Amino acid sequence: MNRGRGRGRGGGVAVKEWVLKKVESKPTVITERSSPATAHVMDSNDVKQGSVEGLNCSKHPQGQPASKSTNDHRLSTHSNSNHRIENNTHVAATSEIKCSQASQDNTMTTGSSEKFFDICPKKTGTPRLKSSLLVQNREKRNEIQRSNGGQPIQVLRPGMVLLKNFIPLKDQVEIVQTCRKLGLGNGGFYQPGYGDQANMHLKMMCLGKNWDPKSSSYEERRSEDGAEPPPIPIEFHQLVQKAIQDTHAHQCKQVKQKDVESVLPSMTPDICIVNFYTTNGKLGFHKDKDESQESLNRGLPVVSISIGDSAEFLYGDQMDIDKAKKVVLESGDVLIFGGKSRHIYHGVTSILPKTAPQALLQESDLRPGRLNLTFRKY
Ligand SMILES: O=C(O)CCC(=O)C(=O)O
């Protein structure tokens, strides 16, 4: 059950670092999960307020000081927990910060008897603005592409593929509706936090197993409220299977790759982390390393589905966003990273407002922002 985020394996030493950086008068927090690391940058005021909206990642190799030293604060390992706060921080030089407001979108709270975050609130009286010409044209183009059998699969690197516009609009609407329903029920969307009063910049719901950001591990019930994660719906399983099968077929045909399983192993998920990013949501640079050692060793892929507004997604081999590559994930895209790419650092630096397909918004009432589902095998 130990997802391993923030926890060293083998030695059993819990390691999680939080680094604060001063930007103008405001210090900013970078969280880094080391060995391997996960980093998130946060505004320290937000930490105090228990709410964080801006984050980024930076040069801060695990276990090493980053390039610049200031008198900021550093949070790393407690002897008895994952966190520790120190002064005299080493600061990553590349961090660019967006200071946050408190979560204006925190309409939900935890606790099964309380209201959960609704990703499709019913609009009252405010007519939806027509999307820009750019978005309208893109939607037309996407529709044509879909009716012609979709776009070719893009190989971003060995084991990492992008299936552009893979999910038909009708299915996107259904995914939103399913997530909404699950998200309002027991184990639904809540505001996750890392502890130390620092929140993630998104709303989360887990299916299959719960991932707990405080302990960086999987659990059968959500420690926040004791809720049992709902099972992964069958349609989601089918979608993941199709995405992997299509990728294999593409590898066989186009790349003449014989041993497709060694490049991208098949995977039947037992976990789905559903994130909803409002338009100022983000997710810091990190590695997914909390799945079982067997799953990680075999390079069983993470399959990631994007719906709604587009996101800037960074990925790379090093804990350094300056060296990372960027790809824009649009509504209906499926990104898969497994095999040699299973251990990449990755994160979401920004959500691009008003980029969701108009028809999706009309039919689902999805609120501004982005729904992301990542499937994994524990
Ligand atoms: O939202 C995304 O595209 C990435 C999500 C992610 O990295 C994660 O859940 O670990």
With H, G, I as helix, E, B as strand and everything else as coil, classify residue 135. Answer: helix
3-state secondary structure (DSSP) of residue 11:
coil
- Between the CA of 194 and the centroid of ligand 1 the distance, in Å, is 16
Q: In this predicted structure, what is the pLDDT of residue 153?
A: 92
Maximum C-alpha span of the chain: 58
Give the model confidence (pLDDT) of 179-213 as tens digits.
999 999 999 999 999 887 799 999 999 999 999 99
Rounded Cα distance between 250 and 268, Å, is: 19
The ligand 1 atom at the shortest distance from the C-alpha of residue 347 is 7
Q: Among the three residues 91, 122, 152, which one is the final residue of a domain in this structure?
A: 91
From the alpha carbon of 374, which atom of ligand 1 is closest?
A: 9
275 domain-assigned: yes
Known binding residue 286? Answer is yes
State pTM to two decimals. Answer: 0.73
**Which residues contact residue 20 at a Cβ distance below 8 angstroms, ignoring those fewer than 6 apart?**
27, 28, 29, 30, 44, 72, 73, 74, 75, 89
Between the CA of 348 and the centroid of ligand 1 the distance, in Å, is 7
Domain shared by 78 and 139, yes or no: no
Phi, psi of 156 (to 5 degrees): -85, -30
Report the pLDDT value the prediction gives residue 227, as an integer from 0 to 100.
96
Rounded Cα–Cα distance for residues 264 and 253 (Å): 15
Which residue puts its alpha carbon closest to atom 8 of ligand 1? 374
pLDDT at 7 over 60: no
| Percentage of the residues of the chain whose pLDDT score is greater than 70 | 66
Please state, for a pLDDT cut of 90, what percent of the chain lies above it.
58
The reply to whether 268 and 321 lie within a common domain is yes
Give the pLDDT confidence score for residue 148 in this predicted structure. 65
Which residue did the predictor score with more confidence, 288 or 4? Answer: 288
Residues 56 and 203 in one domain: no
Determine the pLDDT at residue 126. 57
Helix (H), strand (E) at residue 339: none
Q: Which tops the pLDDT comparison, 312 or 138?
A: 312
Smallest Cα–Cα separation from 204: which of 219, 226, 222, 217? 222
The answer as to whether 274 is a domain residue is yes
Distance set, CA 327 to CA 66, 109, 276 (Å)? 26, 33, 19
In the chain, the amino acid numbered 7 is: R
Distance 125 CA to ligand 1 centre (A): 34
Q: pLDDT tens, 141-166?
A: 777 776 666 678 999 999 999 999 99
> If you take atom 10 of ligand 1, which residue's CA is the nearest one?
288
Note if the bond before 36 is cis, omega within 30 degrees.
Answer: yes
Strands (E), 33-79: 39-43, 68-69, 73-76
Task: Please indicate, yes or no, whether residues 64 and 176 belong to a single structural domain of this protein.
Answer: no
Choice between 83 and 284, residue whose per-residue pLDDT is larger: 284
Residue predicted with more confidence, 328 or 252? 328
pLDDT, one tens digit per residue, over 265-296 is: 999 999 999 999 999 999 999 999 999 999 99
Mutational test site, ligand 1, from 283, 305, 343, max ligand atoms within 8 Å of CB: 283
Structure confidence by residue, pLDDT tens digits, 100-111:
333 334 444 444
Last residue of a domain, one of 91, 121, 148: 91
- The answer on 292 and 159 residing in a single domain is yes
- Residue 105: inside a domain: no
Ligand 1 mean position, distance from CA 71 (Å) = 32
Please say whether the beta carbons of 1 and 218 come within 8 A. Answer: yes
Ligand 1 lining (C-beta closer than 6 Å) = 273, 275, 283, 288, 304, 311, 313, 329, 346, 348, 372, 374
What is the pLDDT confidence band of residue 223, given thresholds at 50, 70 and 90?
Answer: very high
Using the mean position of ligand 1's atoms as its centre, give its distance from the Cα of residue 251 in Å.
24
Instruction: Kindly state whether residues 315 and 203 are assigned to the same domain.
Output: yes
- Residue 182 belongs to what domain range? 133-376
Task: List the structure tokens of 49.
Answer: 């307020």
Tell which residue, 275, 272, 345, has the closest CA to residue 308.
Answer: 275
* 90 assigned to a ligand binding site: no
In a domain, 11, yes or no: no
CA 130 to the chain's CA centroid: 28
Helix (H, G, I), strand (E, B), or coil: what is residue 260? helix
Q: What is the predicted pLDDT for the residue at 255?
A: 73
Last residue of a domain, one of 38, 59, 91: 91
User: CA–CA separation, 164 vs 150, rounded Å?
Assistant: 8
Distance 127 CA to ligand 1 centre (A): 31
> Does residue 195 share a domain with residue 74?
no
Contact (CB, 8 A) for 176 and 360? yes
pLDDT at 57: 31
Residue 302 is predicted with a pLDDT of 98
Confidence band for 61, pLDDT divided at 50, 70 and 90: very low
Please indicate, yes or no, whether residues 25 and 170 belong to a single structural domain of this protein: no
**C-beta separation of 43 from 28 below 8 A:** yes
> Mean pLDDT of all residues in the chain?
74
- Residues 353, 220 within the same domain: yes
118 or 29, which is more confident: 118
273 CA distance to ligand 1 middle (Å): 8
Report residue 24 CA to chain centroid gap. Answer: 28
Closest alpha carbon to 194 in 210, 215, 209? 215
| Residues 198 and 311 placed together within one structural domain of the fold | yes
Residue range 231-242, pLDDT digits in tens: 999 999 999 999
Going through 33-143 in order, the beta strands assigned E by DSSP cover: 39-43, 68-69, 73-76, 84-87, 90-91
Q: Residue with the nearest Cα to atom 7 of ligand 1? A: 347
pLDDT at 30 over 80: no
In a domain, 69, yes or no: yes
pLDDT band at 130 (very low <50, low <70, confident <90, very high): low
372 Cα nearest atom in ligand 1: 1
| Residue 322 located in a structural domain | yes
Q: Which residue has the higher pLDDT, 252 or 145?
A: 252
What pLDDT score does 1 carry? Answer: 33
Instruction: Read off the CATH number of the domain in which 194 is found.
Output: 2.60.120.590
Ligand 1 atom closest to 335 (CA) = 3
Whether residue 104 is contained in a domain is answered as no
Total structural domains within the chain: 2
Q: Is residue 75 part of a domain?
A: yes
Contact 269, 275 (CB under 8 A): no
Cα–Cα distance measured from residue 129 to residue 2, given in angstroms and rounded to the nearest whole number: 45
Atom of ligand 1 nearest to the CA of 273: 9
Same domain, 144 and 23: no
How far is the CA of 173 from the CAs of 98, 179, 347, 361, 370, in angstroms?
31, 10, 25, 8, 13
Q: Are residues 83 and 141 in the same domain?
A: no
Res 294: pLDDT? 98
